[in-house]
Amino acid sequence: MGGDYPKNGRFGRYGGQFIPETLVPAVKELERAYLKMRKDRSFKDELGALLADYAGRPTPLYLASNLTKKAGGAKIYLKREDLLHSGAHKINNTVGQALLAKRMGKPRIIAETGAGQHGVATAMACAVLGLKAEVYMGSDDIERQKLNVFRMKLLGAEVHSVASGSRTLKDAINEALRDWVTNLRDTYYIIGSVVGPHPYPVMVRDFQSVIGSEIKRQMKAKEGRLPDAAVACVGGGSNSLGTFHPFANDRKVRLYGVEAGGTGKGKNAAVLVEGREGVLHGMMTYLLQDKYGQVSSTESISAGLDYPGVGPEHSFLKDSGRATYVSVSDDEAVKAFHLLSRTEGIIPALESSHAVAYAVKLAGGMKKDETIVITLSGRGDKDVQIIAKRAGLEI
């Protein structure tokens, strides 16, 4: 856990705490607790044991030789976060925050979710640590992610349907924030990505940086050097920032964040490609917004990328030029979903399929002795019905 800590909560001009006065005490309490716990040996040991014995870390780094041959260029490695308990990288963060909440004496946990993976991972962390979980989810996302909704309920979580606004992740976050303001004394809000008011962006990044740290060790063991490029999908941006952050000072490693291009201009969630600065959910960052500054509706086949903002550290990485951000369309993501399934026998989440689609194109223009790592952030079980429906099939 760790790395640089922005004491003022800012990554350049981005980040901060744009919150109502009623939330200030809770955010300050959280920051004090986190600063204490990130130095606490017993906290680190307990978290490490949970990540190893419960979540399943370290995850493998797999040389996708068939996909490499198909791409016709650089060697492609897959960081297999899809093999974690819960089926996605989200468990790295929920176990960390739930453990922090328990040590803070907060027995009730609330969370928001889009694709449902963060909700499932929150429910799992709460079950193993003896905490009560309640999850807010947009009604549209509930409809397209029924399997994950059922999994949350099986794990003992209460799921609140949010029918306001776009009925997706943005609105689920709004409702979770309202709940938190009302129940500060006994409630801890586990934010699922590197978004929100400080210290959430840095805290979630730290919990997810285990991904990039493992990649560094594994690539040195397998190739004797660091990768030439790292590619990950970006919604809020936790799996990508967890991948990128440990490479921040390794300038020879090129970093690529892949956003949801949806169905085209104005119908996407490509925040860093098409957005501009604004304030949302307690942070200054890039947003998709209209000419009046109103937050725009987003569109993506992947619920986990369907968010009009992005983590503030990603905005800083874009402006500084340390990372490059691109977008991949729904159609391209679906093709990559099928490609990886058929070439490697690995069914990726639609979110991760965006990264796969771009990485295959990138690899094709690179030398055969170069290497790319794709962070496969989650598995695709949850998306099979979406793919089937798109093909006109009933399952």
Q: Mind telling me the catalytic residues?
A: 90, 112, 377
For tokens 């947003």, the residue is: 287
**Cα–Cα distance, 32 to 35 (Å, whole number):** 5
**Cα–Cα distance, 395 to 380 (Å, whole number):** 15
- What are 4's two structure tokens? 């640089």
- Write the single-letter amino acid at 209: S
Buried b (16+ CB within 10 A) or exposed e, 348-387: bbbbbbbbbbbbbebbeebeeeebbbbbbbbbbebbebbb
- What are 38's two structure tokens? 């990130």
Strand residues in 208-364 grouped as ranges (E):
229-233, 254-264, 267-269, 276-280, 283-287, 323-329
Task: Give kind and range of the element (H or E) at residue 328.
Answer: strand 323-329
**Cα–Cα distance, 143 to 3 (Å, whole number):** 39
What single-letter DSSP state applies at residue 114?
A: S
- What are 320's two structure tokens? 């500084």
**Cα–Cα distance, 121 to 85 (Å, whole number):** 8
Do residues 231 and 385 lie in contact, with contact meaning Cβ atoms separated by under 8 Å?
A: no
Beta-bridge partners for 162:
138
Beta-bridge partners for 113:
137
- What are 376's two structure tokens? 């496969």
Dihedral in degrees, nearest 10, Cα atoms 111, 114, 117, 123? 30
- The dihedrals phi and psi of 196, each to the nearest 5 degrees, come to 95, -175
- What are 89's two structure tokens? 């990288």
**Cα–Cα distance, 274 to 289 (Å, whole number):** 9
Phi-psi region of 85 (alpha: psi -120 to 50; beta: other; left: phi over 0): beta
**Cα–Cα distance, 337 to 60 (Å, whole number):** 20
Beta-bridge partners for 258:
233, 326
